[in-house]
Structure 1
Amino acid sequence: MTVDAWLQHPTARFSRHEMFDSLRRWSSWPTLDDELDLKATDAALDEAGVDIGLLSAWHSPRDGAMISNDEVAAWVQQHPERYRGVASVDLARPVPAVRELRRMVRDHGFVALRVLPWLWEVPPTHPLFYPLYAECVDLDIPICTQVGHTGPLRPSEVGRPIPYIDQIAIDFPDLKIVCGHIGYPWTTEMIAVADKHPNVYIDTSAYTARRYPVELVDYMRGRGRKRVLFGTNYPMITPAKALYGLADLNLDEQIAADFLDGNARRVFAL
């Protein structure tokens, strides 16, 4: 059993955006002129034996809903056994944002919120985030964010685990925080923050198994075995490509099962 903790079913307006030009130079990030059929994403998950994918919406301050919550809800409704929704909201409008998050969780069963600080070019400790963090605690869902450098053409500093994730976890000790993209080049910082706070987790999206930093693999084998989740960031990386080389990490059977499936099921209450 495998759960992909971070993927998108890309709309054309999402995939062709200029900020992903940097990703196109070194990944399989597609440029779509027409909407991609959901069967293509199904096939990518089938190829790698991924049972459940957490489909993320995207809301940009410059472009609005690049992938809307309602589009994600419709895809989940088509395949409720395979997909779960992850909401995105307009950070600049905090009261409507909280109401939208509440609607998607209560009416459509969404399992998390994802808002990317680099997309808004503000740190995740900015006051605009705090009403959403409080609502995530009330709804008992995780907040998903990105740590590490920013692949798209936006500044990276807001992705530092210290001080940002550390401070959020201090201010909201009951908030589950899932930190995507490993945290490179601050992976050691990310591990230190996950060690310090019991509700902070790391997902491996945007990296193939062969590119996991050594310190992260050591963490997965030891005290971090319950703290690391598998993710792809599809369509940037297909699940099959992301999993290639996993056997070379020499994870024992239980650690591999937790990493691929059990940790995500527990954190997202799947």
Structure 2
Amino acid sequence: MIIDAWGQHPTLRHSQDPIFDSLRRWTKTEAPTEQLPVSVTIAMMDQAGIDRMLISAWVAPRNVMISNDEVAGFVAEAPDRLVGVGSVDISRPMDAVREIRRCVRELGFRAIRVLPWLWEVPPTDRRFYPVYAACVEEGVPFCTQIGHTGPLMPSEVGRPIYLDQVALDFPELVIVAGHIGYPWTDEAIAVTTKHENVYIDTSAYTARRYPDQLVAYLRGNGARKVMFGTNYPMFPPAAALKDLDALGLSDETRALFLGGNARRVFGL
């Protein structure tokens, strides 16, 4: 089974947001003018042999790009293929806690994701702490982004070392840190190695662009700590997997990386 640990089925609000203009320079694509059907996302998954994709809501300050209810609607169209990941407004802590409970108990979501760069504060900011507590209580992972940002926003808040303090304060919290952590990949590996419940996903990078130290970690004692992700629709899943064979993974490690770790961590 191949599981994409980081995707999103975008709304037009998300796809057309000016914050992603810098990414379009890389992908050489124009902002879409029509809503993407769920059937297109499923077809892209089929093309790459992706069995399941975790798709996330996007909540930013005063801007809901993809709502939790929209994610639930997308999942309802393909419940055997798509898995919901919620997001919340950290500026309203009690509303955030109540929304996390709703996401898990009523919408059936398997994780919560909040991106520090969207809020321009590190994950040690006090506004995150009720979110962490709620995730622990509801038994779902907290997903976030580490490393530099493609959008023209400050990258410092994505330093992986911030998660060291979070994991010390919330040892029961399962943290999935997406986007590898470049240019602080060594920090990401150190934090993941130190803390039992911290993981890395490779979203936003194709296999041929994984840093050498991450590949070495994946081949060695990080085999159970790294999971595959795409950041779809930024990358088609097939493109993200294209050079996988060049990584030289054993059959066991390859199976864990592509799906086994995500299946275990997200309870799929």
Relative to the length of structure 1, the TM-score reads 0.98
Equivalent residues of 2:38, 2:77 under 8 A apart: no
Give the counterpart letter for 2:31 in structure 1: T
Equivalent residues of 2:4, 2:230 under 8 A apart: yes
CA distance, structure 1, for counterparts of residue 119 and residue 28 of structure 2: 25
Q: 2:203 aligns with which of 189, 202, 205?
A: 205
Q: Deviation per CA, 1:82-140, whole angstroms, max 9, x where unpaired?
A: 11100011111111111011001001110000000000001111111000100101111
The Cα shift of 1:34 comes to 1.9
Question: Over the residues paired in the alignment, what is the CA RMSD in angstroms?
Answer: 0.9
CA distance, structure 2, for counterparts of residue 62 and residue 236 of structure 1: 24
5+ residue gaps, structure 2, are none
CA distance, structure 2, for counterparts of residue 101 and residue 139 of structure 1: 8
Which residues of 2 match residues 154-233 of structure 1 at below 5 A? 154-162=153-161, 164-233=162-231
* Secondary structure of residue in 2 paired with 1:26: helix
Relative to the length of structure 2, the TM-score reads 0.98
Residue equivalent to 1:95? 94
The Cα shift of 1:10 comes to 0.9
CA distance, structure 1, for counterparts of residue 172 and residue 13 of structure 2: 36
Q: Deviation per CA, 1:203-255, whole angstroms, max 9, x where unpaired?
A: 00000000000000000000000000000000111100000100011101110
The Cα shift of 1:29 comes to 5.8
The Cα shift of 1:62 comes to 3.5
The Cα shift of 1:148 comes to 0.3
- Which deviates further from its counterpart, 217-226 or 32-41? 32-41
Which residues of 2 match residues 1-270 of structure 1 at below 5 A? 1-27=1-27, 31-63=31-63, 65-162=64-161, 164-270=162-268
5+ residue gaps, structure 1, are none
Give the counterpart letter for 1:133 in structure 2: Y
Give the counterpart letter for 1:199 in structure 2: N
* Secondary structure of residue in 2 paired with 1:36: coil
CA distance, structure 1, for counterparts of residue 258 and residue 29 of structure 2: 23
Q: List, as ranges, runs of 4+ consecutive aligned residues in structure 1 with deviation greater than 4 Å.
A: none
Give the counterpart letter for 2:48 in structure 1: A
Distance of aligned partners of 1:29 and 1:10 in 2 relative to their CA distance in 1, 3 Å threshold:
farther
